[in-house]
C-alpha cells in the first residue's frame, strides 16, 4: 500500500501536535513545517519513539516571512514527487498590531497569506498527489467584517479579535476557492472549526481579551479532542463530494452568511495573488 505523504504547519504544539501524532500512527510520511526547528526536531523524536514511524521530516518555515515559505516549498519540491495531504494548521492572534517581515499585518500574514503562498508554490505536487487541503478555521469567523480597502489595519483602530475573525473568514474563502478552481484537477479542500481548545492560543492577549480567555479556559476542550475533526478530514474516505465545506465536530456545518459571499471570496483571491506575486518566481 502506498505511503500517504502529509505536510502540516504548526505541528509543534496544541492540535497540530496531536494531529501529527495521530497521522504518524497511521504510517503517514510527515513533513513538519515549523518556525522553530529545535522544537520540530524534539517533536520528531517524540513521534519516532512513540510510533516507530521513521518517515518524519522537519522543514523550517516561518509563515510570517514569505521568503521562508518559498524556501520551504522549494525543499519539498526537491524532495517529493507528490503530496497527498496538506494541513494548514498554524495560526495566531496578536494583542496589538504587528507587522510581518514583509510588512503585512501579522494576523493576516500568519493565518492566511503564508498558507496561500505555500499552496500556490506546491500546486504541482498537490495535483500529482490528488491532494486534500485542510484549513483550520474557527467559529470566530462569524465576527468578521472584512474591509478590502484596509486589509492591513492601517486606516482603522486595530482589534485583535476582529482581525483574527477576519483571517478565519479568509480561511473559509480560501477553501471554497480551492475547491472551485482545482476540483477538476483532483484537489479537494476543507475548512474546519476545531472547538474552543485549551492550548497556548491567546497567551499574548492583554486587558479584557486576556480576562475573557481566562474565564473561558475551564470550559475548553483538550488539544486531543480539538484535533479530531482535522484527523477525520485527513483519514475519511468518500468525502470528496463535500469539498469546499466547513466542518465542525466531524460533520459539515453552516458557516456565516458572510462566508458565502462570492464577491468577497473572489476579491480575496485576486488581492492575495497580487501580494504574493513577487515570491512566485
The tens digit of pLDDT for each residue in 76-131 reads 999 999 999 999 999 999 999 999 999 999 999 999 999 999 999 999 999 999 99
What value, to the nearest 5°, has the Cα angle with vertex 173 and ends 118 and 210?
Answer: 85
| Each residue's pLDDT expressed in tens, for the chain with a length of 281 residues | 679 999 999 999 999 999 999 999 999 999 999 999 999 999 999 999 989 899 999 999 999 999 999 999 999 999 999 999 999 999 999 999 999 999 999 999 999 999 999 999 999 999 999 999 999 999 999 999 999 999 999 999 999 999 999 999 999 999 999 999 999 999 999 999 998 756 655 455 455 444 454 444 454 678 889 999 999 999 999 999 999 999 999 999 999 999 999 999 999 999 999 999 999 97
164 catalytic per annotation? yes
Q: What is the pTM of this model?
A: 0.92
Q: Which domain holds residue 162?
A: 5-279
- Out of 164, 173, 182, 246, which one is annotated catalytic? 164
Residue 101 region, left (φ>0) first, then alpha (ψ -120 to 50), else beta? alpha
Output the domain CATH number for residue 37: 3.40.50.720
Domain count, the chain: 1
Amino acid at each position: 500500500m502506498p505511503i500517504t505523504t502529509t505536510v502540516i504547519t504548526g505541528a509543534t504544539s496544541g492540535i497540530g501536535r496531536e494531529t501529527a501524532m495521530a497521522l504518524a500512527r497511521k504510517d503517514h510520511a510527515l513533513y513538519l513545517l515549523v518556525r522553530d526547528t529545535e522544537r520540530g526536531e524534539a517533536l520528531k523524536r517524540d513521534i519516532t519513539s512513540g510510533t516507530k514511524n521513521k518517515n518524519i521530516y522537519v522543514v523550517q518555515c516561518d509563515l510570517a516571512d514569505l521568503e521562508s515559505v518559498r524556501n520551504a516549498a522549494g525543499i519539498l519540491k526537491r524532495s517529493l514527487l507528490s503530496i497527498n495531504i496538506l494541513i494548514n494548521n498554524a495560526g495566531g492572534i496578536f494583542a496589538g498590531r504587528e507587522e510581518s517581515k514583509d510588512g503585512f499585518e501579522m494576523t493576516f500574514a500568519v493565518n492566511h497569506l503564508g498558507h496561500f503562498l505555500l499552496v500556490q508554490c506546491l500546486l504541482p505536487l498537490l495535483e500529482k498527489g490528488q491532494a486534500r487541503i485542510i484549513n483550520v478555521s474557527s467559529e470566530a469567523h462569524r465576527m468578521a467584517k472584512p474591509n478590502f480597502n484596509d486589509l492591513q489595519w492601517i486606516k482603522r483602530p486595530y482589534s485583535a479579535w476582529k482581525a483574527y475573525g477576519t483571517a478565519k473568514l479568509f480561511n473559509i474563502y480560501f477553501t471554497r476557492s480551492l475547491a472551485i478552481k482545482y476540483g477538476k484537477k483532483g484537489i479537494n479542500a476543507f475548512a474546519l472549526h476545531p472547538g474552543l481548545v485549551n492550548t497556548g492560543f491567546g497567551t499574548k492577549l492583554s486587558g479584557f481579551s486576556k480576562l475573557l480567555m481566562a474565564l473561558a479556559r475551564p470550559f475548553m476542550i483538550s488539544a486531543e479532542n480539538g484535533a479530531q475533526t482535522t484527523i477525520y478530514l485527513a483519514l475519511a474516505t468518500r468525502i470528496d463530494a463535500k469539498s469546499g465545506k466547513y466542518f465542525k465536530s466531524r460533520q459539515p456545518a453552516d458557516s456565516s452568511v458572510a462566508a458565502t459571499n462570492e464577491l468577497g471570496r473572489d476579491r480575496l483571491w485576486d488581492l492575495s495573488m497580487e501580494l504574493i506575486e513577487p515570491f512566485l518566481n
